[in-house]
Amino acid sequence: MRTDRSPPEPLARGVRGLLILGGTTEGYALAEALSERSDLRVVSSLAGRTEQPRRPCGESRIGGFGGIPGLIDYLRAQRLDAVIDATHPFAATMGWNAAAACDALGLPLLRLERPAWQPQPGDDWQQIDDWPAAVAALQRSGARRVLLAVGRQELAPFAALDAVSFLIRAVSAPRPLPAFKDARVLLARGPFTLVDERALLADERIDTIVCKNSGGAATAAKLRAARELGVRVIMRQRAPRPPTTLATDVQAALAWLDTNVSKPSD
């Protein structure tokens, strides 16, 4: 697997370089769709926050770049010609860094982002902007049994709620786990089915779900199960992203590539 220190591959004549900032379902699907393209050298970059991440098709690297200057240096050293930001909707810092680096180098940049979930009739949602607001909402509502699906690195604000029993669902174990008075960790990776989500909420007597508006199908079943069972949802909204061209699916990203990343002149 490629790292920051790896030397650039020599590009064949007529080949352009593309960096996919990935780790999402969309990033993996895009890398797979491009795996047979002989006119593109594609490098997928993963943040490395998940233990033993799934490797995308083709060339890849794991880890940060060292901020905007490091990303600029990497794009130059690897002779890459375009960037597609397919990071998680809540990986906000990387999005701003990508925009700044591409602006500095004059490189085309696309944001590939799945649409956000929207509340449906029968939903009991409270939409909030940060975790302190979520904590306050839990206190006001008198929640007692909460499914906490916010990622293993953002648990600390909830640990002070001694009157709440938390079921923490995460892909990897939190290390260390904050000092909750009453919490269990459930390690699981989506996609999750409606049948399983309905059973989980019922068996655990969950009255509230706290989650991020990540969008996509892999973890959406919990929202339908919550609607059916009358479970409250406290939903964190996405932070603003830098203004750039947006694609909401892989096919739109492929069309953008064909239009904006042409072969170099012979």
Q: Which band of pLDDT confidence, cut at 50, 70 and 90, is reported for residue 70?
A: very high
Q: pLDDT higher for 260 or 168?
A: 168
Q: Could you count the other beta carbons within 10 Å of the beta carbon of residue 90?
A: 17
What's the average model confidence in pLDDT over 97-109? 97
Confidence at residue 147, expressed as pLDDT on a 0 to 100 scale: 98
Q: Does 234 score more than 70 pLDDT?
A: yes
Q: Which band of pLDDT confidence, cut at 50, 70 and 90, is reported for residue 2?
A: very low
Q: pLDDT higher for 2 or 142?
A: 142
Q: Which band of pLDDT confidence, cut at 50, 70 and 90, is reported for residue 91?
A: confident
C-beta contacts of 164-169 below 8 A and 24+ residues apart: 164/138, 167/204, 167/206
What's the average model confidence in pLDDT over 125-142? 97
Most distant CA pair in the chain, distance? 69
Q: Does 4 score more than 50 pLDDT?
A: no
Q: Does 265 score more than 50 pLDDT?
A: no
What's the average model confidence in pLDDT over 70-83? 96
Dihedral over alpha carbons 211, 215, 217, 222 (to 10 degrees): 20
Q: Does 17 score more than 90 pLDDT?
A: yes
What's the average model confidence in pLDDT over 31-45? 94
Confidence at residue 7, expressed as pLDDT on a 0 to 100 scale: 44
- Closest by CA to 187, choosing from 76, 73, 69, 51, is 51
Confidence at residue 262, expressed as pLDDT on a 0 to 100 scale: 65
Q: Does 39 score more than 50 pLDDT?
A: yes
Q: Could you count the other beta carbons within 10 Å of the beta carbon of residue 186?
A: 13
Confidence at residue 266, expressed as pLDDT on a 0 to 100 scale: 45
Lowest mean pLDDT among 9-13, 51-55, 117-121, 133-137: 9-13
Give the CA distances from residue 50 to residues 39, 67, 84, 176, in Å, rounded to whole numbers and listed in that order.
Answer: 31, 20, 21, 15
Q: Does 255 score more than 80 pLDDT?
A: yes
Confidence at residue 29, expressed as pLDDT on a 0 to 100 scale: 95
Tens-place pLDDT, residues 140-189: 999 999 999 998 889 999 999 999 999 999 988 998 999 999 999 999 98
Q: Does 52 score more than 70 pLDDT?
A: no
The CATH 3.40.50.720 portion of the chain extends over 16-115+240-260
Class of 16-115+240-260 per CATH? alpha beta
Domain 125-236 has CATH 3.40.50.1220: yes
Q: Does 261 score more than 50 pLDDT?
A: yes
Write the burial class of residue 73 (CB in 10 Å: 0-12 exposed, 13-18 middle, 19+ buried): middle
Q: Could you count the other beta carbons within 10 Å of the beta carbon of residue 48?
A: 12
Q: Does 1 score more than 80 pLDDT?
A: no
Q: What does the block give as tokens for 128? A: 């909030």
Q: Which band of pLDDT confidence, cut at 50, 70 and 90, is reported for residue 15?
A: confident
The CATH 3.40.50.1220 portion of the chain extends over 125-236
Report the percentage of the chain scoring pLDDT > 70: 91
